[in-house]
């Protein structure tokens, strides 16, 4: 009988240790995300504190990690300060979400070309805000990247944002 109790206690300790390790790993992953995504993750945690189910809170956190991996952003609201019943994205972006309760909606590029550029922005680390702002402009106007030297075809000029990690794109020369 005493051996069974000791065995049960050991199993409970092991299960608790594995669970605590999982929570610490998830916290570590979240703490490495850019501030934008850390703020979203904090909102997920707050919803859990407000009594939202754990599975919804976990789905929320998974959606934040997915958004961070693709450098995706929340949809904008045409009604600032109000909850947007229908998420809207800039032209060239589509709404996506995880298929579980509690997921954020996010905007991601529709074209594979821009999806690859978004991945490139993620690799910029601290400069991803600058890179994504430029990518948003490229998608909005259907601009394409300039070549490695910043050159464009005749009738186009190169342009970019005034920040270090900007993308350089080609846009029509206006006369």
More confident residue, 92 or 77: 92
For residue 14, pLDDT beyond 90: no
Q: Binning pLDDT at 50, 70 and 90, where does residue 91 land?
A: confident
Encode burial over 28-67: b for 16+ CB neighbours within 10 A, e otherwise: eebeebeebbeebbeebeeebeeeeeeebbebbbbbbbbb
Tens of pLDDT, residues 32-90: 788 888 889 888 888 766 666 666 778 888 889 888 888 888 887 655 555 556 667 77
> What pLDDT sits at residue 28?
58
Reduce the secondary structure of the chain to three states and give it as a string.
CHHHHHHHHHHHHHHHHHHHHHHHHHHHHHHCCCHHHHHHHHHHHHHHHCCCCHHHHHHHHHHHHHHHHHCCECCECCCCCCCCCCCECCCCEEEEECCCCCCCEEEEECCHHHHHHHHHHHCCHHHHHHHHHHHHHHHHHCCEECCCCCCCCCCEEEECCCCCCCCCEEEECCC
Give the lowest-confidence range in 1-5, 25-29, 30-34. 25-29
- Mean model confidence pLDDT for the chain: 79
> What pLDDT sits at residue 169?
92
> What pLDDT sits at residue 52?
64
> What pLDDT sits at residue 161?
92
User: Checking DSSP bridges between strand 156-159 and strand 93-97, what pairing results, if any?
Assistant: unpaired
What region, left, alpha or beta, does residue 102 occupy, with left being phi > 0 and alpha being psi -120 to 50 degrees? left
> What pLDDT sits at residue 168?
92
> What pLDDT sits at residue 83?
56
More confident residue, 166 or 90: 166
CB atoms within 10 A of CB 114: 19
Tens of pLDDT, residues 93-150: 778 888 788 888 888 877 878 888 888 888 887 788 888 889 888 888 888 888 888 8
Q: pTM, whole model, 2 decimals?
A: 0.51
């Amino acid at each position: 009988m005493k051996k069974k109790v000791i065995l049960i206690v050991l199993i409970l300790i092991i299960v608790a240790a594995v669970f605590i390790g999982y929570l610490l790993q998830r916290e570590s992953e979240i703490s490495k995300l850019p501030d934008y995504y850390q703020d979203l993750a904090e909102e997920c945690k707050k919803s859990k504190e407000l009594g939202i189910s754990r599975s919804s809170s976990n789905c929320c956190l998974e959606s934040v990690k997915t958004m961070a991996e693709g450098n995706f952003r929340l949809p904008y609201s045409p009604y600032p300060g109000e909850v947007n019943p229908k998420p809207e994205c800039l032209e060239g972006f589509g709404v996506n979400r995880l298929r579980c309760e509690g997921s954020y909606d996010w905007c991601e590029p529709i074209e594979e070309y821009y999806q690859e550029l978004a991945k490139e922005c993620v690799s910029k680390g601290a400069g991803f805000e600058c890179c994504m702002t430029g990518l948003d402009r490229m998608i909005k106007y259907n601009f394409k990247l300039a070549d490695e030297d910043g050159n464009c075809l005749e009738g186009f000029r190169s342009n970019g944002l005034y920040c270090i990690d900007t993308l350089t794109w080609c846009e029509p020369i206006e006369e």
